[in-house]
Amino acid sequence: MEVFRAVMLTGSVAGAAELLHVSQPAVSKLLAHAARQSGLTLFERVKGRLVPTPEAQQLHAEIENLWRGVERVRDVSRTLARPETGTLRLAVSASLASHLAPRAVALLYERFPLLKSRIEILVSPIMVDALLDHSADLAIGLLPNEHPNLVTVKSYACGLACVMREDHPLAAKALVTPSDLRGQRVITSPASTPYGQSLHRAYGKAAADLRLDIEVRSATTACWFAQAGAGIAVIDRAAVAGQSFTGLAVRPFKSSERLEVRIIRNRYRPMSVVQEAFCDVFDRVWDEALKTPASPRIQR
């Protein structure tokens, strides 16, 4: 079809060969093959020139209709390979929404400046639903991967930190231990949740003696309450990776407990170029913010 169309456009075998960047014998051979396959006489020679027959004219009209579709497919494939525009839909845990996910998206825009992004901050069960119903391309957060239709793209072991107001007595310590929490009002998460269960394991033997007076559902909320002076909190380090909370002292928390941060996708939805690029830049952001051990600091 491509050779036939080129001959129709240029009016000669030589012109078609130049248009397609092939030899004239190759064009003649393919044109003869097309005539045999169709059982039609496509061209006649009149005074040394190729003149299309009425059948060829009608066939060319049909091919032109089809060719517009072929060109659209080519355009789409170029867009997918080198996307100038497109949409990335992310479901993000609250812990990662304060710095890590926004920073990764900002770096992604350096590569894809015309990209559109849609971000929702969701709890784990709803994040899973968003992947299953295709309303999210990727989910990033502290969530288990137990559904058979979901697959983990990346995973990261995340340690813990203790946060408090900068004028709190424990802010003077370089490292906070579970025993240091005794006598303090501790902001924690419900023991019925996986996050809360991880925190209780991190408290260790001191858990029975702690004043677990305030329960919240996310590390970000715990930071807000600690920032207000309501108590101190042990949280995942991902939540305080950036400078998002003014006046909040962040100290490493001594515990072997690790939380699992995952990037998850639908098993039956292969990743696009943009989605793969996001995973790459998230790797970079994670390494910059969390690969090295947490150092004592105050977020101003």
Average pLDDT over residues 254-267: 94
DSSP the chain: -HHHHHHHHHSSHHHHHHHHTS-HHHHHHHHHHHHHHHTS--EEEETTEEEE-HHHHHHHHHHHHHHHHHHHHHHHHHHHHS-SS-EEEEEE-HHHHTTHHHHHHHHHHHH-TT-EEEEEE--HHHHHHHHHTTS-SEEEES-----TTEEEEEEEEE-EEEEEETTSGGGG-SSB-GGGGTTSEEEE--TTSHHHHHHHHHHGGGGGGSEEEEE-SSHHHHHHHHHTTS-EEEEEGGGGSSS-STTEEEEEB--S--EEEEEEEETTS---HHHHHHHHHHHHHHHHHHSSPP--EEE-
pLDDT tens across 9-42, in order?
888 888 888 888 889 888 888 888 888 888 888 8
Q: Are 231 and 210 in contact (CB under 8 A)?
A: no
- Summarised one tens digit per residue, pLDDT across range 170-216 is 999 999 999 999 999 999 999 888 899 999 999 999 999 999 999 99
- Beta-bridged to residue 121, according to DSSP, are 92
Residue 232: band (very low, low, confident or very high) from pLDDT cuts 50, 70, 90? very high
Contact 109, 86 (CB under 8 A): no
Q: What is the pLDDT of residues 76-128, one digit of tens each?
A: 676 666 666 678 999 999 889 989 999 999 999 999 998 889 999 988 888 99
Q: For residue 297, what pLDDT band results from cuts at 50, 70 and 90?
A: very low
Beta bridge partners of 162: 234, 251
Position 146 scores a pLDDT of 79
The reported pLDDT for the residue numbered 76 is 64
As a whole number, the mean pLDDT across the chain is 87
